[in-house]
Structure 1
Amino acid sequence: MTGQLPRRHLLLDSFSRSAAELTQALETAGFVPTLLGAVQRIVHADFVMVFGYRGSDQPQLLGDTLDRERHRVIAEDYINGPYLLDPFYQLVEDGRREGCFRLHDIAPDRFRQSEYFRTHYKRTGIGEEVGFVFDAGRGVTGVASVARWTSSPAFARDELDLLQTLGPAIGAFCGRHWSRISRAVLVSDEAARANAVSALEDFAGGILSARERQIMTMILQGHSTQSLAHHLDISPGTVKIHRKNVYRKLNISTQAELFAAYLAFVQVRGGGAGLFPGGYTKQRPSPR
Protein backbone atom coordinates (compact mmCIF):
# COMPACT_ATOMS: atom_id res chain seq x y z
CA MET A 1 0.00 0.00 0.00
CA THR A 2 2.68 2.50 0.98
CA GLY A 3 4.56 2.10 -2.31
CA GLN A 4 1.40 3.09 -4.21
CA LEU A 5 1.08 6.45 -2.49
CA PRO A 6 1.95 9.65 -4.42
CA ARG A 7 5.53 10.87 -3.94
CA ARG A 8 4.45 13.83 -1.80
CA HIS A 9 2.70 11.43 0.60
CA LEU A 10 5.81 9.27 0.80
CA LEU A 11 7.93 12.30 1.59
CA LEU A 12 5.45 13.43 4.22
CA ASP A 13 5.49 9.94 5.76
CA SER A 14 9.31 9.99 5.81
CA PHE A 15 9.39 13.42 7.42
CA SER A 16 6.81 12.40 10.03
CA ARG A 17 8.81 9.33 11.03
CA SER A 18 12.02 11.36 11.14
CA ALA A 19 10.43 14.08 13.28
CA ALA A 20 9.29 11.46 15.78
CA GLU A 21 12.76 9.90 15.93
CA LEU A 22 14.51 13.27 16.26
CA THR A 23 12.18 14.23 19.09
CA GLN A 24 13.06 11.02 20.93
CA ALA A 25 16.79 11.59 20.32
CA LEU A 26 16.89 15.14 21.73
CA GLU A 27 19.58 15.52 24.44
CA THR A 28 20.98 12.06 23.73
CA ALA A 29 24.23 10.89 22.12
CA GLY A 30 22.19 9.45 19.27
CA PHE A 31 20.93 12.78 17.99
CA VAL A 32 23.54 13.34 15.24
CA PRO A 33 23.25 9.82 13.72
CA THR A 34 19.46 10.20 13.90
CA LEU A 35 19.77 13.54 12.09
CA LEU A 36 21.74 11.85 9.31
CA GLY A 37 19.13 9.12 9.07
CA ALA A 38 16.37 11.71 8.87
CA VAL A 39 18.04 13.47 5.96
CA GLN A 40 18.81 10.18 4.20
CA ARG A 41 15.10 9.39 4.14
CA ILE A 42 14.65 12.40 1.87
CA VAL A 43 17.92 12.73 -0.09
CA HIS A 44 21.18 10.82 -0.20
CA ALA A 45 23.86 12.11 2.20
CA ASP A 46 27.15 10.48 3.19
CA PHE A 47 27.71 12.14 6.55
CA VAL A 48 26.81 14.99 8.90
CA MET A 49 29.09 17.29 10.89
CA VAL A 50 28.03 20.07 13.25
CA PHE A 51 30.14 22.99 14.48
CA GLY A 52 29.34 25.77 16.93
CA TYR A 53 30.71 29.28 16.37
CA ARG A 54 30.99 32.20 18.79
CA GLY A 55 32.78 35.31 17.58
CA SER A 56 36.43 34.63 16.72
CA ASP A 57 36.71 31.78 19.24
CA GLN A 58 37.87 28.50 17.82
CA PRO A 59 34.74 26.63 16.73
CA GLN A 60 33.64 23.63 18.73
CA LEU A 61 32.77 20.34 17.08
CA LEU A 62 29.31 19.48 18.35
CA GLY A 63 29.07 16.13 16.62
CA ASP A 64 29.73 14.15 13.43
CA THR A 65 29.24 10.74 11.84
CA LEU A 66 32.81 10.44 10.51
CA ASP A 67 35.23 7.59 10.97
CA ARG A 68 38.35 8.27 13.04
CA GLU A 69 40.73 9.19 10.19
CA ARG A 70 38.27 11.43 8.40
CA HIS A 71 37.37 13.02 11.73
CA ARG A 72 41.03 14.00 12.18
CA VAL A 73 41.40 15.51 8.72
CA ILE A 74 38.01 17.18 8.44
CA ALA A 75 37.23 18.26 11.99
CA GLU A 76 40.43 18.52 14.03
CA ASP A 77 42.57 20.12 11.33
CA TYR A 78 39.77 22.55 10.49
CA ILE A 79 39.47 23.78 14.09
CA ASN A 80 43.21 24.49 14.23
CA GLY A 81 43.02 27.53 11.96
CA PRO A 82 41.59 26.99 8.46
CA TYR A 83 38.06 27.58 9.79
CA LEU A 84 38.72 31.33 9.58
CA LEU A 85 38.71 31.00 5.78
CA ASP A 86 35.60 28.80 5.61
CA PRO A 87 32.60 30.33 3.75
CA PHE A 88 30.24 29.00 6.45
CA TYR A 89 32.31 30.67 9.18
CA GLN A 90 32.21 33.91 7.18
CA LEU A 91 28.45 33.55 6.76
CA VAL A 92 28.04 33.35 10.53
CA GLU A 93 30.49 36.22 11.05
CA ASP A 94 28.37 38.32 8.71
CA GLY A 95 25.41 37.83 11.02
CA ARG A 96 23.49 34.89 9.57
CA ARG A 97 21.70 32.98 12.34
CA GLU A 98 19.39 30.67 10.39
CA GLY A 99 18.80 29.25 6.94
CA CYS A 100 19.94 26.53 4.55
CA PHE A 101 22.92 27.22 2.30
CA ARG A 102 24.88 25.28 -0.30
CA LEU A 103 28.62 25.84 -0.02
CA HIS A 104 28.90 26.37 -3.76
CA ASP A 105 26.44 29.27 -3.56
CA ILE A 106 28.11 31.18 -0.70
CA ALA A 107 31.79 30.60 -1.58
CA PRO A 108 33.90 33.26 -3.35
CA ASP A 109 34.25 32.99 -7.12
CA ARG A 110 37.76 31.51 -6.96
CA PHE A 111 37.15 29.27 -3.96
CA ARG A 112 38.41 26.15 -5.71
CA GLN A 113 41.59 27.98 -6.73
CA SER A 114 42.21 29.30 -3.21
CA GLU A 115 45.04 27.97 -1.08
CA TYR A 116 42.45 27.11 1.60
CA PHE A 117 40.74 24.77 -0.85
CA ARG A 118 43.94 23.24 -2.21
CA THR A 119 45.65 22.82 1.16
CA HIS A 120 42.73 21.91 3.41
CA TYR A 121 39.34 21.43 1.80
CA LYS A 122 40.49 19.22 -1.07
CA ARG A 123 42.14 16.87 1.44
CA THR A 124 38.79 16.26 3.14
CA GLY A 125 37.32 14.47 0.13
CA ILE A 126 34.09 16.46 0.46
CA GLY A 127 32.40 17.00 -2.89
CA GLU A 128 29.17 18.72 -1.87
CA GLU A 129 28.06 20.40 1.35
CA VAL A 130 24.80 22.00 2.46
CA GLY A 131 24.77 23.78 5.82
CA PHE A 132 21.80 24.38 8.11
CA VAL A 133 22.49 27.46 10.25
CA PHE A 134 20.76 27.57 13.64
CA ASP A 135 20.82 29.43 16.94
CA ALA A 136 22.40 27.14 19.55
CA GLY A 137 21.89 29.55 22.45
CA ARG A 138 24.35 31.38 24.70
CA GLY A 139 25.66 33.43 21.77
CA VAL A 140 26.61 30.36 19.73
CA THR A 141 25.53 29.83 16.14
CA GLY A 142 25.60 26.27 14.88
CA VAL A 143 26.06 24.94 11.36
CA ALA A 144 24.91 21.38 10.68
CA SER A 145 26.45 20.32 7.38
CA VAL A 146 24.95 17.54 5.30
CA ALA A 147 27.63 16.41 2.86
CA ARG A 148 28.63 14.04 0.09
CA TRP A 149 32.04 12.70 -0.81
CA THR A 150 33.61 13.44 -4.18
CA SER A 151 32.69 9.88 -5.17
CA SER A 152 28.97 10.75 -4.90
CA PRO A 153 27.06 12.82 -7.47
CA ALA A 154 26.34 16.49 -6.85
CA PHE A 155 23.01 17.43 -5.32
CA ALA A 156 20.35 17.76 -8.01
CA ARG A 157 18.14 20.83 -8.12
CA ASP A 158 15.13 19.00 -6.71
CA GLU A 159 17.26 17.59 -3.88
CA LEU A 160 18.46 21.08 -2.97
CA ASP A 161 14.86 22.27 -3.01
CA LEU A 162 13.91 19.46 -0.61
CA LEU A 163 16.75 20.37 1.74
CA GLN A 164 15.64 24.00 1.66
CA THR A 165 12.13 22.85 2.58
CA LEU A 166 13.51 20.81 5.47
CA GLY A 167 15.66 23.71 6.65
CA PRO A 168 13.34 25.29 9.24
CA ALA A 169 12.59 21.92 10.87
CA ILE A 170 16.23 20.79 10.95
CA GLY A 171 17.29 24.16 12.33
CA ALA A 172 14.62 23.98 15.02
CA PHE A 173 15.57 20.45 16.08
CA CYS A 174 19.28 21.32 16.18
CA GLY A 175 18.64 24.55 18.06
CA ARG A 176 16.50 22.76 20.65
CA HIS A 177 19.02 19.94 21.08
CA TRP A 178 22.11 22.07 21.57
CA SER A 179 20.51 24.94 23.46
CA ARG A 180 19.42 22.46 26.11
CA ILE A 181 22.90 21.06 26.58
CA SER A 182 24.81 24.28 25.89
CA ARG A 183 26.00 24.66 29.47
CA ALA A 184 27.97 21.41 29.22
CA VAL A 185 29.07 21.54 25.58
CA LEU A 186 29.22 25.09 24.30
CA VAL A 187 30.65 27.18 27.13
CA SER A 188 34.40 27.71 26.79
CA ASP A 189 36.46 28.12 29.95
CA GLU A 190 38.37 31.34 30.55
CA ALA A 191 41.68 29.90 29.37
CA ALA A 192 40.15 28.84 26.06
CA ARG A 193 38.54 32.23 25.59
CA ALA A 194 41.87 33.93 26.34
CA ASN A 195 43.35 31.99 23.41
CA ALA A 196 40.56 32.96 21.01
CA VAL A 197 42.03 33.27 17.55
CA SER A 198 41.33 36.58 15.82
CA ALA A 199 44.12 35.93 13.35
CA LEU A 200 42.48 37.51 10.33
CA GLU A 201 42.34 40.80 12.24
CA ASP A 202 45.74 40.57 13.89
CA PHE A 203 47.91 38.82 11.31
CA ALA A 204 50.64 41.21 10.09
CA GLY A 205 48.94 44.02 12.00
CA GLY A 206 52.26 45.78 12.56
CA ILE A 207 53.24 45.41 8.90
CA LEU A 208 50.12 45.75 6.75
CA SER A 209 47.56 48.54 6.69
CA ALA A 210 43.92 47.79 7.52
CA ARG A 211 43.03 47.78 3.82
CA GLU A 212 45.94 45.49 2.98
CA ARG A 213 44.87 43.03 5.70
CA GLN A 214 41.36 43.11 4.25
CA ILE A 215 42.71 42.37 0.77
CA MET A 216 44.91 39.59 2.16
CA THR A 217 41.97 37.98 3.96
CA MET A 218 39.78 37.98 0.87
CA ILE A 219 42.60 36.54 -1.25
CA LEU A 220 42.94 33.67 1.22
CA GLN A 221 39.18 33.13 1.18
CA GLY A 222 39.22 32.69 -2.59
CA HIS A 223 38.16 36.02 -4.08
CA SER A 224 39.47 36.88 -7.54
CA THR A 225 40.75 40.34 -8.44
CA GLN A 226 37.40 41.12 -10.05
CA SER A 227 35.46 39.89 -7.01
CA LEU A 228 37.66 41.93 -4.66
CA ALA A 229 37.14 45.03 -6.77
CA HIS A 230 33.37 44.49 -6.77
CA HIS A 231 33.04 43.87 -3.02
CA LEU A 232 35.35 46.72 -2.02
CA ASP A 233 34.13 49.13 -4.72
CA ILE A 234 37.64 49.80 -6.03
CA SER A 235 39.25 49.23 -9.41
CA PRO A 236 40.96 45.94 -10.34
CA GLY A 237 44.16 47.93 -10.79
CA THR A 238 43.97 49.18 -7.20
CA VAL A 239 43.43 45.61 -6.00
CA LYS A 240 46.57 44.49 -7.84
CA ILE A 241 48.59 47.29 -6.27
CA HIS A 242 47.40 46.35 -2.77
CA ARG A 243 48.16 42.68 -3.42
CA LYS A 244 51.64 43.53 -4.68
CA ASN A 245 52.27 45.60 -1.56
CA VAL A 246 51.08 42.76 0.70
CA TYR A 247 53.45 40.30 -0.94
CA ARG A 248 56.34 42.78 -0.85
CA LYS A 249 55.86 43.69 2.81
CA LEU A 250 55.58 40.04 3.85
CA ASN A 251 58.51 39.08 1.62
CA ILE A 252 56.51 36.43 -0.25
CA SER A 253 55.58 35.89 -3.89
CA THR A 254 52.73 33.35 -3.97
CA GLN A 255 49.38 32.68 -2.34
CA ALA A 256 50.80 29.39 -1.03
CA GLU A 257 53.46 31.33 0.90
CA LEU A 258 50.79 33.72 2.17
CA PHE A 259 48.69 30.79 3.43
CA ALA A 260 51.73 29.19 5.08
CA ALA A 261 52.60 32.46 6.83
CA TYR A 262 49.02 32.84 8.00
CA LEU A 263 48.94 29.28 9.39
CA ALA A 264 52.26 29.80 11.16
CA PHE A 265 50.78 32.88 12.86
CA VAL A 266 47.64 31.00 13.90
CA GLN A 267 49.74 28.18 15.30
CA VAL A 268 51.76 30.53 17.50
CA ARG A 269 48.56 32.25 18.66
CA GLY A 270 46.87 28.94 19.47
CA GLY A 271 49.79 27.35 21.34
CA GLY A 272 50.45 23.64 21.54
CA ALA A 273 51.87 21.24 18.99
CA GLY A 274 50.42 19.33 16.11
CA LEU A 275 50.32 18.94 12.35
CA PHE A 276 48.35 21.41 10.28
CA PRO A 277 46.92 20.87 6.77
CA GLY A 278 49.58 20.63 4.11
CA GLY A 279 52.22 19.44 6.53
CA TYR A 280 52.89 22.75 8.30
CA THR A 281 54.19 21.84 11.75
CA LYS A 282 53.09 23.85 14.72
CA GLN A 283 56.00 25.29 16.67
CA ARG A 284 56.05 25.75 20.41
CA PRO A 285 57.61 28.91 21.81
CA SER A 286 61.19 28.31 22.85
CA PRO A 287 61.59 27.83 26.61
CA ARG A 288 63.15 30.77 28.39
Structure 2
Amino acid sequence: MPTTPDPLTRTIETLHGPGFPAALVALLSSWVPFDCAIVLGHGRRPVYLYDNLPDRRELLFERYLTGAHQQDPFLLALRQGLGAGVWTLAEVSRLTGREPDYTHHFYPATGWREELGLLLPVRPDFTLLISLGRLAGRRPVTGAELTKLRRHFALVHALCRQQWGATPPPLPAAPEGEPEMERVRQAVTRTLARLGGPHLTRREREVATLILHGCDTVTIAERLGIGPGTVKNHRKHLYAKLGLASRADLFTLFLGQLITTP
Protein backbone atom coordinates (compact mmCIF):
# COMPACT_ATOMS: atom_id res chain seq x y z
CA MET A 1 0.00 0.00 0.00
CA PRO A 2 1.54 3.37 -1.06
CA THR A 3 2.40 5.76 1.75
CA THR A 4 1.60 9.46 1.78
CA PRO A 5 4.80 11.48 1.29
CA ASP A 6 5.89 13.70 4.16
CA PRO A 7 5.50 17.49 3.61
CA LEU A 8 9.14 18.06 2.64
CA THR A 9 9.12 15.22 0.12
CA ARG A 10 5.83 16.49 -1.32
CA THR A 11 7.27 20.00 -1.67
CA ILE A 12 10.32 18.72 -3.53
CA GLU A 13 8.12 16.58 -5.79
CA THR A 14 6.11 19.64 -6.84
CA LEU A 15 9.11 21.82 -7.69
CA HIS A 16 8.71 23.69 -11.02
CA GLY A 17 4.98 22.96 -11.04
CA PRO A 18 1.86 24.97 -10.15
CA GLY A 19 1.30 22.86 -7.01
CA PHE A 20 4.51 24.04 -5.37
CA PRO A 21 3.12 27.05 -3.41
CA ALA A 22 0.41 24.93 -1.75
CA ALA A 23 2.94 22.22 -0.88
CA LEU A 24 5.33 24.83 0.53
CA VAL A 25 2.62 26.31 2.75
CA ALA A 26 1.73 22.81 3.97
CA LEU A 27 5.41 22.29 4.82
CA LEU A 28 5.56 25.54 6.79
CA SER A 29 2.35 24.64 8.63
CA SER A 30 3.79 21.24 9.56
CA TRP A 31 6.49 23.08 11.48
CA VAL A 32 4.34 25.84 12.98
CA PRO A 33 0.54 25.81 12.60
CA PHE A 34 -1.19 28.79 11.00
CA ASP A 35 -4.77 29.48 9.93
CA CYS A 36 -4.00 31.40 6.75
CA ALA A 37 -1.23 31.91 4.24
CA ILE A 38 -0.71 34.19 1.26
CA VAL A 39 2.17 33.90 -1.20
CA LEU A 40 2.94 36.98 -3.28
CA GLY A 41 5.82 37.95 -5.52
CA HIS A 42 7.03 41.53 -5.58
CA GLY A 43 8.77 43.30 -8.39
CA ARG A 44 7.18 46.49 -9.66
CA ARG A 45 3.90 45.44 -8.04
CA PRO A 46 2.52 42.41 -6.18
CA VAL A 47 1.94 39.21 -8.17
CA TYR A 48 -0.56 36.78 -6.69
CA LEU A 49 0.79 33.22 -6.43
CA TYR A 50 -1.29 31.37 -3.81
CA ASP A 51 -3.57 31.68 -0.80
CA ASN A 52 -5.53 29.36 1.46
CA LEU A 53 -7.80 31.99 3.01
CA PRO A 54 -10.95 30.33 4.37
CA ASP A 55 -13.06 33.46 3.88
CA ARG A 56 -12.90 37.22 3.29
CA ARG A 57 -10.89 36.61 0.11
CA GLU A 58 -12.42 39.71 -1.45
CA LEU A 59 -10.16 41.74 0.86
CA LEU A 60 -7.11 40.28 -0.89
CA PHE A 61 -8.29 40.89 -4.46
CA GLU A 62 -10.49 43.96 -4.11
CA ARG A 63 -8.55 45.92 -1.48
CA TYR A 64 -5.04 44.60 -0.80
CA LEU A 65 -3.86 43.98 -4.38
CA THR A 66 -5.60 47.13 -5.64
CA GLY A 67 -4.03 49.58 -3.21
CA ALA A 68 -3.78 48.50 0.43
CA HIS A 69 -0.49 46.68 -0.27
CA GLN A 70 1.20 50.09 -0.54
CA GLN A 71 0.76 50.45 3.24
CA ASP A 72 1.73 46.88 4.17
CA PRO A 73 4.47 47.17 6.85
CA PHE A 74 6.32 44.16 5.41
CA LEU A 75 6.55 45.75 1.96
CA LEU A 76 7.42 49.15 3.39
CA ALA A 77 10.24 47.48 5.33
CA LEU A 78 11.37 45.65 2.18
CA ARG A 79 11.60 48.97 0.31
CA GLN A 80 13.61 50.39 3.21
CA GLY A 81 16.17 47.61 2.84
CA LEU A 82 14.98 44.92 5.27
CA GLY A 83 16.80 41.72 4.36
CA ALA A 84 15.78 38.12 3.92
CA GLY A 85 14.38 36.33 6.94
CA VAL A 86 11.36 35.57 9.10
CA TRP A 87 9.92 38.74 10.60
CA THR A 88 7.03 39.48 12.93
CA LEU A 89 4.52 42.24 12.29
CA ALA A 90 5.69 43.96 15.46
CA GLU A 91 9.32 43.94 14.24
CA VAL A 92 8.59 45.49 10.85
CA SER A 93 6.13 47.98 12.35
CA ARG A 94 8.85 49.27 14.67
CA LEU A 95 11.00 49.84 11.59
CA THR A 96 8.36 51.47 9.37
CA GLY A 97 5.72 52.80 11.76
CA ARG A 98 2.06 51.92 11.33
CA GLU A 99 -0.04 53.43 8.56
CA PRO A 100 -3.35 54.50 10.17
CA ASP A 101 -5.59 53.40 7.27
CA TYR A 102 -3.95 49.98 7.10
CA THR A 103 -3.84 49.46 10.87
CA HIS A 104 -7.30 50.71 11.77
CA HIS A 105 -9.37 49.90 8.68
CA PHE A 106 -7.88 47.17 6.49
CA TYR A 107 -6.08 44.90 8.94
CA PRO A 108 -8.93 44.46 11.48
CA ALA A 109 -11.23 43.44 8.62
CA THR A 110 -9.00 40.43 7.84
CA GLY A 111 -9.63 38.83 11.24
CA TRP A 112 -5.92 38.10 11.62
CA ARG A 113 -4.62 38.31 15.19
CA GLU A 114 -0.96 37.89 14.35
CA GLU A 115 1.20 37.72 11.22
CA LEU A 116 4.66 36.51 10.34
CA GLY A 117 6.28 37.39 7.04
CA LEU A 118 8.99 35.45 5.21
CA LEU A 119 10.98 37.73 2.90
CA LEU A 120 12.70 35.62 0.25
CA PRO A 121 14.70 37.37 -2.51
CA VAL A 122 14.84 34.94 -5.43
CA ARG A 123 16.06 37.25 -8.22
CA PRO A 124 17.49 40.76 -8.22
CA ASP A 125 14.10 42.09 -9.31
CA PHE A 126 11.78 39.63 -7.58
CA THR A 127 11.19 38.95 -3.87
CA LEU A 128 8.65 36.60 -2.33
CA LEU A 129 6.56 37.55 0.68
CA ILE A 130 4.91 34.60 2.40
CA SER A 131 2.45 35.90 4.98
CA LEU A 132 1.40 33.47 7.70
CA GLY A 133 -1.54 34.50 9.84
CA ARG A 134 -3.33 33.36 12.96
CA LEU A 135 -6.94 34.36 13.41
CA ALA A 136 -8.42 36.05 16.44
CA GLY A 137 -8.91 33.62 19.30
CA ARG A 138 -5.70 31.70 18.64
CA ARG A 139 -2.73 31.93 20.99
CA PRO A 140 0.22 34.11 19.99
CA VAL A 141 3.26 32.68 18.21
CA THR A 142 5.80 31.56 20.79
CA GLY A 143 9.50 32.30 20.78
CA ALA A 144 10.20 28.61 20.22
CA GLU A 145 7.96 28.55 17.13
CA LEU A 146 9.61 31.64 15.71
CA THR A 147 13.03 30.08 16.31
CA LYS A 148 11.90 26.90 14.55
CA LEU A 149 10.81 28.78 11.42
CA ARG A 150 14.06 30.75 11.39
CA ARG A 151 16.05 27.54 11.73
CA HIS A 152 14.35 26.18 8.59
CA PHE A 153 14.53 29.47 6.66
CA ALA A 154 17.63 28.56 4.61
CA LEU A 155 15.88 25.42 3.36
CA VAL A 156 12.74 27.34 2.41
CA HIS A 157 14.81 30.00 0.67
CA ALA A 158 16.70 27.38 -1.36
CA LEU A 159 13.43 25.73 -2.44
CA CYS A 160 11.97 29.08 -3.51
CA ARG A 161 15.09 29.98 -5.50
CA GLN A 162 14.73 26.65 -7.32
CA GLN A 163 11.08 27.39 -8.09
CA TRP A 164 11.24 31.08 -9.02
CA GLY A 165 14.90 32.01 -9.34
CA ALA A 166 15.46 31.61 -13.07
CA THR A 167 12.09 32.20 -14.70
CA PRO A 168 9.03 34.41 -14.27
CA PRO A 169 6.62 33.01 -11.66
CA PRO A 170 4.19 30.38 -12.99
CA LEU A 171 0.53 31.25 -13.08
CA PRO A 172 -1.41 30.23 -9.98
CA ALA A 173 -2.93 26.77 -10.14
CA ALA A 174 -6.48 26.68 -11.44
CA PRO A 175 -9.11 24.62 -9.62
CA GLU A 176 -8.97 20.91 -10.45
CA GLY A 177 -11.14 19.66 -13.27
CA GLU A 178 -11.79 21.00 -16.77
CA PRO A 179 -14.60 23.57 -16.58
CA GLU A 180 -17.07 23.83 -19.42
CA MET A 181 -16.99 26.93 -21.57
CA GLU A 182 -20.15 28.32 -19.98
CA ARG A 183 -18.55 28.14 -16.54
CA VAL A 184 -15.48 29.91 -17.89
CA ARG A 185 -17.64 32.63 -19.44
CA GLN A 186 -19.50 33.14 -16.19
CA ALA A 187 -16.25 33.33 -14.22
CA VAL A 188 -14.87 35.95 -16.63
CA THR A 189 -18.09 37.97 -16.39
CA ARG A 190 -18.08 37.88 -12.58
CA THR A 191 -14.40 38.82 -12.42
CA LEU A 192 -14.85 41.78 -14.76
CA ALA A 193 -17.81 42.97 -12.68
CA ARG A 194 -15.72 43.08 -9.49
CA LEU A 195 -12.43 44.18 -11.01
CA GLY A 196 -10.90 46.86 -8.82
CA GLY A 197 -13.45 46.41 -6.07
CA PRO A 198 -14.83 49.66 -4.69
CA HIS A 199 -11.98 51.77 -6.05
CA LEU A 200 -13.27 52.25 -9.61
CA THR A 201 -16.20 54.21 -10.96
CA ARG A 202 -18.61 52.52 -13.35
CA ARG A 203 -16.99 54.26 -16.33
CA GLU A 204 -13.46 53.37 -15.21
CA ARG A 205 -14.50 49.72 -14.92
CA GLU A 206 -16.00 49.88 -18.42
CA VAL A 207 -12.71 51.26 -19.78
CA ALA A 208 -10.73 48.57 -17.92
CA THR A 209 -13.00 45.86 -19.35
CA LEU A 210 -12.51 47.09 -22.90
CA ILE A 211 -8.74 47.29 -22.39
CA LEU A 212 -8.81 43.66 -21.28
CA HIS A 213 -10.78 42.84 -24.43
CA GLY A 214 -7.86 44.22 -26.46
CA CYS A 215 -9.46 47.49 -27.55
CA ASP A 216 -7.30 50.52 -28.29
CA THR A 217 -8.11 54.09 -27.24
CA VAL A 218 -10.04 54.99 -30.40
CA THR A 219 -12.15 51.81 -30.28
CA ILE A 220 -12.96 52.35 -26.59
CA ALA A 221 -14.00 55.94 -27.34
CA GLU A 222 -16.31 54.79 -30.13
CA ARG A 223 -17.92 52.06 -28.05
CA LEU A 224 -18.55 54.33 -25.06
CA GLY A 225 -19.46 57.43 -27.05
CA ILE A 226 -16.76 59.60 -25.49
CA GLY A 227 -13.63 61.31 -26.76
CA PRO A 228 -10.18 59.64 -26.91
CA GLY A 229 -8.86 62.19 -24.43
CA THR A 230 -11.55 61.22 -21.94
CA VAL A 231 -10.62 57.55 -22.38
CA LYS A 232 -6.99 58.38 -21.61
CA ASN A 233 -8.04 60.26 -18.47
CA HIS A 234 -10.16 57.31 -17.28
CA ARG A 235 -7.26 54.94 -17.98
CA LYS A 236 -4.83 57.18 -16.10
CA HIS A 237 -7.17 57.37 -13.10
CA LEU A 238 -7.91 53.63 -12.92
CA TYR A 239 -4.21 52.77 -13.22
CA ALA A 240 -3.41 55.21 -10.39
CA LYS A 241 -6.20 53.88 -8.16
CA LEU A 242 -5.09 50.26 -8.64
CA GLY A 243 -1.36 50.96 -8.46
CA LEU A 244 -0.77 49.85 -12.06
CA ALA A 245 1.81 51.04 -14.53
CA SER A 246 0.76 49.33 -17.75
CA ARG A 247 -1.76 47.20 -19.61
CA ALA A 248 0.33 44.15 -18.64
CA ASP A 249 -0.15 45.00 -14.95
CA LEU A 250 -3.92 45.17 -15.52
CA PHE A 251 -3.89 41.73 -17.16
CA THR A 252 -1.88 40.31 -14.25
CA LEU A 253 -4.39 41.66 -11.75
CA PHE A 254 -7.32 40.34 -13.80
CA LEU A 255 -5.81 36.85 -14.16
CA GLY A 256 -5.19 36.59 -10.43
CA GLN A 257 -8.81 37.45 -9.71
CA LEU A 258 -10.13 35.19 -12.48
CA ILE A 259 -8.26 32.11 -11.34
CA THR A 260 -9.61 32.51 -7.83
CA THR A 261 -13.19 33.40 -8.75
CA PRO A 262 -15.55 30.94 -7.03
Superposed pair shares fold, TM > 0.5: yes
Q: Distance in 1 between matches of 2:7 and 2:66?
A: 34
Shift of 1:130: 1.1
Match of 2:33 in 1: 44
Q: SS of 1:168's equivalent?
A: helix
Amino acid across the alignment from 1:93: R
Output one character per residue of 1:142-170: Cα deviation in whole Å (capped at 9) or x when no partner. 11122211232110111111111121211
Unpaired stretches in structure 1, ≥5 consecutive residues: 1-15, 187-271
Match of 2:211 in 1: none
Asked whether the equivalents of residues 52 and 141 of structure 1 are also in contact (C-alpha less than 8 Å), the reply is yes
1:282 aligns with 2:200: yes
1:79 aligns with 2:61: no
1:60 aligns with 2:47: yes
Q: Distance in 1 between matches of 2:99 and 2:169?
A: 40
Unpaired stretches in structure 2, ≥5 consecutive residues: 173-193, 208-225, 231-262
Amino acid across the alignment from 2:45: Q
Q: SS of 1:28's equivalent?
A: coil
**What's the TM-score once normalised by structure 1's chain length?**
0.55
**What's the TM-score once normalised by structure 2's chain length?**
0.60
Change in Cα spacing, 1:112 to 1:98, as seen in structure 2 (3 Å) is closer
Output one character per residue of 1:80-135: Cα deviation in whole Å (capped at 9) or x when no partner. 11111111111221233521111121114896782211221111111111111112
Q: Distance in 1 between matches of 2:82 and 2:109?
A: 27
1:24 aligns with 2:13: yes
1:116 aligns with 2:102: yes
Match of 1:249 in 2: none
Match of 1:128 in 2: 114
Q: Distance in 1 between matches of 2:24 and 2:152?
A: 12
> Which has the higher mean CA deviation after the structures are superposed, 154-163 or 36-45?
36-45
Q: Distance in 2 between matches of 1:121 and 1:52?
A: 20
Q: SS of 1:182's equivalent?
A: coil
- Aligned match for 1:176, one of 130, 137, 162: 162
Amino acid across the alignment from 1:179: G
Shift of 1:181: 4.5
- Aligned match for 1:158, one of 144, 148, 173: 144
Q: SS of 1:107's equivalent?
A: helix
Q: Distance in 2 between matches of 1:183 and 1:29?
A: 9
Amino acid across the alignment from 2:86: C
Greater RCO (Cα-Cα under 8 Å, separation 6 or more): 2
